Each structure stands twice: as structure tokens, then as C-alpha cells.
Structure 1
Amino acid sequence: MKRMDRTVVWWSKVQYRTVHSLAATPWMMARLPGILLAFWIVMTPPVVAGAEERLPLTLTSNGNTYTIDTFTPGTNKDGKTTVTITGSGYLVPFRDGRMIVPVWCSFTSGTEEYEWDGVTLNNDSFIFSFSTSKKPETVKFYAEDRQDKKYSFKVK
């Protein structure tokens, strides 16, 4: 046998053994679900409880239900920060002859928290304005009558 023929025979045996050693053996098939589960657990990032809420957010204020579908940070014509929320159920109740804003908004930038100082009402949105031009890092929403329960969202 020529040297090249022996090399080909040797290489084909290596390929055969490699392919068949990786084939689905009963031992491998019995352990595959456990291996996949362990891989999934290791690769899944941990979830921090209460770190960030999810939209849509439903709030109840003064007996009415309000749903926030989206929020968009921006700036007004004066360069001040605004947060526009859109959703449904935006009925504005009256109390003592005054309109009551049922959903409130604040945001944090660095270590400072800023409260809204004005709001514009549309059919399906509120536009909160702030007295600063800083960019929001986290936006918080809460009901007018439940200011102790704030829902935080990171600005992306």
C-alpha cells in the first residue's frame, strides 16, 4: 500500500470515529434535557424584583382607571423637559370647581428627582412639563390619590 493510501485510510477512520462518538447515544439522550436546563439557567440573566415596571401600566385614581401605553421624554419650545404619556381612560375629574390631574409624573436625573409643574391635556395623552432642562434617566408615574405608590421606568 502506498503512503498516500494509508493516510486516506487513517483519516477516514478518524472521521468515522469522531462522527460516531458524537452521535446520539442512549447515555447522551438521557442526559440532554438536564444539560440543556443547566445551560439555560446559567445563561439567563438574573431578574431584580421591582427594578422596572412594564407597559402598559394601569392606575386607578379617584375611582377611574387610567392606562399608560407609552411615554416619550422630550423638550418644549423653551428647552424645558417634557414627558408625554399616551393611553386610555383620560377623564379629568373636577373637585371644588377645579380640574384634578389624576395621573402624576416625576423623573430622576442623577440623584435629583423633579416633579411636574404643568400639564397639557389632549384626548388620549397628557404632556407633563418640568422646570428643568435635564434629561430623564428614570420616569415615575403614580395616581393623584396614591402618591406613595410610584411605578418607575428607565428611559431608553
Structure 2
Amino acid sequence: MDHHHPPRWLLIRRNRTTGELAFYLCWSPRPVPLDTLVRLAGSRWSIEEPFQTGKGQVGLDHYQVLGWTGWHRFITLAMLALAVLTILAATTQQPDTDPEIIALTVAEIRRLLNAFILVASLPPAHTLHWSIWRPTSQARARQSHYQRRQAK
């Protein structure tokens, strides 16, 4: 075996229903049986799915940090929030009254927490002030944008 060029394989998976192809470039320091490559390629989805859920539910991809410490703190808190939501979804009892109702999902539990715990009701004066301030600010931004365009 050439130690400067370890073994590489191209694994191609075809979806039986859609015919869609997925390609995997595999690398290993020593030869690996095909069934092991297939099993490992399939396990990739069990890793990627929580990251996709984290991006959609807890803003895992919304960080704007410049250093390792800030990134590490943000990712840790986002993953902790996702873990809490996942545990709540997994341990929530399904009511026996209506079998047509599906169990609570991570997304639904997040919405419920936002509605009942995180969102504080604001006084009407604040809401009215915001509804006037926001369009005014947007109009100023648009005017500035148009002036900058005309200056070019």
C-alpha cells in the first residue's frame, strides 16, 4: 500500500423511489469493506438532521461572532436549547383522547415557549409608537438608498 496516497473510494447511492443519486468520497488509512462504507454513509444523516433542526429552530446558523470564545458560547447555548426542546418533545405525553392529534414537535414546543414565556405583552402606547417609527425609519432608509444610487 502507498502510504503517501491512502485508499479512496467513490460510493454512489441511488434512491429507490426517485432514482436520485448521492455521491460520497470515502477515505480510510486502510481498506474497508463495502458494507462498512455503506453503513457509515447512511449514518451521516443521523448527524446532519439535528444540525438542520438546530438551524431552523434555535438559530444555530445565525451567529455573528468574530472570535473562538464567542462562537463557542453561542454554539453551546444553541445546542443546549435544542437539547432541551428535543427532550421535551420526546417526553411529552400524548393525550389518549384523540389519536388523530400528532405528538408535539420541537418546532411546536418552541412556538409554545415563545408565546407563553418569552414574549412579554407590550403596552398599547409602545405598539403604536413602534408602528409609526418603523415605517418612518424604512422611508428614510429608502430615500437614502435612492440618493446614493443617483449619485453614482
Q: Which has the higher contact order (CA 8 A, sep 6+)?
A: 1
With normalisation by structure 1, the TM-score equals 0.19
Higher strand share: 1
With normalisation by structure 2, the TM-score equals 0.19
The structure whose Rg is larger is: 1
